[in-house]
Structure 1
Amino acid sequence: MLIIDGKKITEGILSDLKKLPVPSGKLVVVLVGENPASRSFLRQKERVARDLGVSFELRSLPDSLSQEELERVVLLTSQDASVRGVIVQLPLPQKYNAREVIKHIDMQKDIDALREGNEGMLPPAVLSLAYILKEINFDLTHKQVVVVGHGFLIGQPIALWLKNKKCDVVVLDKDNFTPSVLKEADLIISGTGKVGLIRGEYLKEGVVVVDYGYGMQEGKVSGDVDIDSVQNTGGFATPTPGGTGPLVVVSLLVNFYGKQ
């Protein structure tokens, strides 16, 4: 099994972005409540943005806001002429309807590309996957692809994108996980956050495994894939950390620049 170095791919993309003029306008992230994992992801986004010279602003809000109040904050942020890109940091606290909140971002400023009908950009999960497949020269044509997890940020946009390619796609839910389905897959994409869900004995020789999962095990950041158990399956796999995470972050900035 060859490890896909997401950091190395990210460095190449950043190098290309640094050759371009820095877009005018701010990148604003709206954070609601106190989620330690969200704070960690935000620090990564801020670090990359500032490295590129992009104006970054965090708007931290209490989770005491009502749905309507949050929607208004997002709408006003999006209407601000000095703002070029808006991100609502997900997941939101459970009391909120995230889809309704996202609808209040202007389509041109929705750099997460989560609004229905936003065809001008690829969601960062999708764009990062495209970068990975290009790096390893993986042709999707007539391949068997399994997407594990059907979440708003990862599984749903990736499955939708894949269905427009010439490949066969199966989507598994983490709560109805059927390991035997993985045995026929040429490409597996997982984003459940369930640590160690995918093991080497479930996989065929030469499979490509792209892991978007993120969780903690014994005090360490881990992904959906038990990376030790897949070492002898050949093919490729992304590690966690250092795999898809950096690529998802830089893909946001690619959308901010308007360069795909």
Structure 2
Amino acid sequence: MDTKMIQGQEIAAEIKERLRQEVRKRGIDPGLAVILVGDDAESMHYVQLKQKAVEFIGGRCEIINPSADISRADLIEHIEQLNQDEKTHGILVQLPLPGSLNADEEMVLASIDVGKDVDGFHPFNQGRLFTGKAQLVSCAALSCMELLERCVEPEGKHAVLIGDSMDLIQPLALLLLARGSRVEIFPEVDGWEEAARRGEILVVEKGTPQMVTADKVREGAVVIDAGFYWEPGKVCGNVDTESVQGTAGWLAPVPGGIGPVLIAKLLENLVKASSSSTS
């Protein structure tokens, strides 16, 4: 079997160009505020990528960078000010939060206006996924659905999800169920192999580097690798890309698969939030 490699960079570029044209045509001015607490260099790199992407489609991105010792109350006050700012259509708190703030993550995310929650992490948006009426949905879950729907029709498919995250696996399970998929979740890396061999859709977020090999994949399956590791001399995910080629029908590898699409879906949510605020 000839495995089709899912080109995340190309898909992301297509989405960004479509949004750039939409913003120009409609004359809207999407504004994103990103709060990055502390001075973590890797987090700042990701934030700057988001800023560049927002500016590409014709929007504005403000980076707010309080020190790592900011109190929870002061951080929430920053968010509440942005909630009231009519020119700010989307608010994003870069995770993970440092130090003791990490334990307050849920409270911090819940302080974001539901209509400006472009990451889709607000408890209200997460809860409304059960009824299919969330205002904004997790960018990671939307990215995965974008890739899957370019390969297969989810209805009737058996999907095996390995992991338990609130940004990908949990919302993705609900999106797939709403589309008529049969969903099986393995929160921990234990006993998943037999189910993976049955899965017509296999999404692997939790695990160990390159643990998914050809003997653990159903022939013709859509395989989405959502892991990320720095290995000597390379970046890799949970799927052994070389091994599964010839068995998987489609593969979103690491790097180059789901990653680039995440920011494109963030932009989609931002444009949607901007449109809602002006309608």
Relative to the length of structure 1, the TM-score reads 0.91
CA distance in 1, matches of 2:171, 2:238: 18
Contact 1:4 1:236 in 2 (8 A): yes
Contact 1:5 1:238 in 2 (8 A): yes
Contact 1:84 1:256 in 2 (8 A): yes
CA distance in 2, matches of 1:153, 1:237: 21
Aligned residue pair count: 258
The residue aligned with 1:49 is 54
- Distance of aligned partners of 1:146 and 1:166 in 2 relative to their CA distance in 1, 3 Å threshold: same
- How far residue 246 of structure 1 moved from its aligned partner, in angstroms, is 1.2
- How far residue 12 of structure 1 moved from its aligned partner, in angstroms, is 1.5
Q: 1:110 aligns with which of 108, 112, 117?
A: 117
Question: Is it true that 1:72 corresponds to 2:86 in the alignment?
Answer: no
1:1-260 pair list within 5 angstroms: 1-21=3-23, 23-93=28-98, 95=100, 96=102, 97-118=104-125, 119-136=134-151, 138-176=152-190, 178-192=192-206, 194-258=208-272
Contact 1:195 1:216 in 2 (8 A): no
Structure 2 counterpart of 1:19, one-letter code: Q
CA distance in 2, matches of 1:146, 1:94: 34
CA distance in 1, matches of 2:42, 2:253: 18
- How far residue 221 of structure 1 moved from its aligned partner, in angstroms, is 2.2
Q: Residues 210-232 of structure 1, C-alpha deviation per residue, up to 9 Å, x if partnerless?
A: 12222211142222211111112
Contact 1:193 1:214 in 2 (8 A): no
CA distance in 2, matches of 1:43, 1:242: 19
- How far residue 177 of structure 1 moved from its aligned partner, in angstroms, is 5.2
The residue aligned with 2:130 is none
Relative to the length of structure 2, the TM-score reads 0.85
Structure 2 counterpart of 1:107, one-letter code: V
Identity of aligned residues (%): 28
CA distance in 1, matches of 2:207, 2:99: 17
- How far residue 149 of structure 1 moved from its aligned partner, in angstroms, is 0.9
Structure 1 counterpart of 2:220, one-letter code: G
Structure 2 counterpart of 1:120, one-letter code: Q
Moved over 4 A (4+): none
Q: Please identify which structure carries the higher helix content.
A: 2
- Distance of aligned partners of 1:193 and 1:112 in 2 relative to their CA distance in 1, 3 Å threshold: farther
Cα root mean square deviation, aligned: 1.9
Q: Residues 195-240 of structure 1, C-alpha deviation per residue, up to 9 Å, x if partnerless?
A: 2232222111111111222221114222221111111213001121
Structure 1 counterpart of 2:16, one-letter code: L
Contact 2:142 2:172 in 1 (8 A): no
Structure 2 counterpart of 1:4, one-letter code: I
- How far residue 5 of structure 1 moved from its aligned partner, in angstroms, is 0.5
Structure 2 counterpart of 1:112, one-letter code: D
CA distance in 2, matches of 1:82, 1:141: 40
Q: Comparing 116-125 with 48-57, which one deviates more in the overlay?
A: 116-125
